[in-house]
Structure formats: structure tokens, C-alpha cells
Amino acid sequence: MDNTKITQNSQEFGDVIAKEIVRLIQNEIEEKASCYIAVSGGSTPVPVFKILGSDPYLNKIDWSRVHVFFIDERCVEPESKENNFQSCYYHWLKNIKEIRYHRINGWIDPDTAAQEYENDIAKTIPSKGAIPSFDLIFMGIGNDGHIASLFPEYDFDNKDQGLVRHVVVDSKIQDRITMTIPLLNNAKNRIFGIIGYSKKKIYSDLLSSKNTNYPVSHLLSSDATDLWVLQ
């Protein structure tokens, strides 16, 4: 957790992360002509999506070479305001017609949706050590330290997680589709966005090795290059 940047407001938070996302995408396109990224939902990514979906970022890179996946999704109707895809699409993707996005079909049978998305990832993303490896994952964390849709009640000791799972989040009374720890830990680069006192407290606890029961602590064993951006 050596690479950390502190920002003073939402605009700076968005600028710092957007610039880093574009830099990493440009590097990957130069190296292998394509880039595979995954993003999370919630409120944390919105300032970043707004910037990526506006000038000058619209023309900074060849977006047709970029594949965008989603870390998790709520099992709701496709047009629901709770749908993670909708926020990303409204603020960013709709402005870049050539970008290739891979949506989770959370409105169909959840187990089927999870398997279909795992198949899509496996056939699209190059693997490292038999597990697909995203070039970049951008995610936030919850006030309880959850990541993706892996909440404190999730069975992190389950060795048969697969890449994508249908989970029932008891605390939210909701079905969700989510990427799992093995997939999240196999990325080349990751950016964590941390906004608000409670989430910065979790970050502080992680630094001092306190309360390692936070779900996010399961991501600290990765050899990914991580950037933590705090506001």
C-alpha cells in the first residue's frame, strides 16, 4: 500500500484517477494493441466516469481497443437506477460509441447470469496462471470494508469460488452477481478509490494491520500494482 495519493475534493479525486486510468490504458495499447479493464458501481466512481466521458478524454486514446467489464451487478431490471451499468453508461460509456463494454445480465436467472459472465471473461481476457488477468481494475470499498459484492458475511474460505458468483447479500436482502477474490487478485494494476471518513478509517486500519476481517483485506496478498486515492 505504498502508492497513495491524497486529494482535497471530488474534482481532484476524479482528475487523479482519470489520468492514471488513461495512462495505464495507453501503455497497454502501445504494448499489445488492446486493454481490458473492470470497474465497480456505487457512488465512488462517478466523478471519474464524468471526467472520462468529457473532453479532452474522449479523444485521448483509441477507445475501440478498450474492453470494459463490471466487477459486480445487482439483480435488478436493466433500466433500474440501482443497476451499476446504468451509472457508468450515463456518465461515460454513452459518450464513446466505439468502446467495447461487457454487461452483466442481472435481470435473468442469477446463476445463469454468473456463468455467462464468467464464460465471457474467460474467452476474452488473457490469462496469467490459468486465471484471466485484467490490465486494470478500478474499485471502491464499502463502509463495512466490502469489495465488489463480497460483504462481511461472504464465505471467504470457500476454495471453490470460481471467477464469478451469484451471491445473496443478506444485509441488503438482494441477489447480486460478483467477481471473486481469485479474479480480483490476478489483475496487473488496480486503483482503489476511498471517499469519506469511515472508509479512510478502514484504510488506516489496513496500514496498521488492525481488523484484518475487513473483506478488502483479502486483496492485500495480490502482486498487482496498486494505487490508493483518498478524498
Domain spans of the chain, in order of start: 4-230
Q: Specify the pLDDT at position 23.
A: 97
43 exposed, middle or buried (CB, 10 Å; 0-12, 13-18, 19+)? exposed
Q: What is the DSSP letter of 126?
A: P
Distance CA 66, CA 145 (A): 29
- Bridge partners (DSSP) of residue 169 are 174
Q: Exposed (0-12), middle (13-18) or buried (19+): which is 156, by Cβ within 10 Å?
A: middle
Cell 462481511 sits on residue: 152
For 168, half-sphere exposure in the C-beta direction (CA atoms, 13 angstrom radius) is 3
- Triad 102, 168, 37: Cα angle to 5°: 25
- Tell me what pLDDT residue 1 has: 63
Q: Which residue has the cell 471502491?
A: 140
Helix (H) or strand (E) holding 101: strand 100-101
Instruction: Note whether 1 and 222 are within 8 A (CB).
Output: no
Contact, 182 vs 156, CB < 8 A? Answer: no
Tens digit of each residue's pLDDT, the chain (231 residues): 669 999 999 999 999 999 999 999 999 999 999 999 999 988 899 999 999 999 989 888 999 999 999 999 999 999 998 999 999 999 999 999 999 999 999 999 999 999 999 999 999 999 999 999 999 999 999 999 999 999 999 998 887 779 999 999 877 789 999 999 999 999 999 999 999 999 999 999 998 876 678 999 999 999 999 999 999
Angstrom distance (rounded) from CA 18 to CA 177: 26
For the chain, give the number of residues. Answer: 231
- What integer pLDDT is reported at residue 172 of this predicted model? 73
Q: Residue 224: CA atoms inside 13 Å, Cβ hemisphere, count? A: 27
pLDDT of residue 212: 72
CA separation, residue 223 to residues 13, 46, 128 (Å)? 25, 27, 12
**Separation between Cα atoms, residue 179 and residue 125, nearest integer Å:** 14
* In this structure, CATH architecture of domain 4-230: 3-Layer(aba) Sandwich (3.40)
> So what's the pLDDT on residue 42?
82
Does the pTM surpass 0.75? The reply is yes
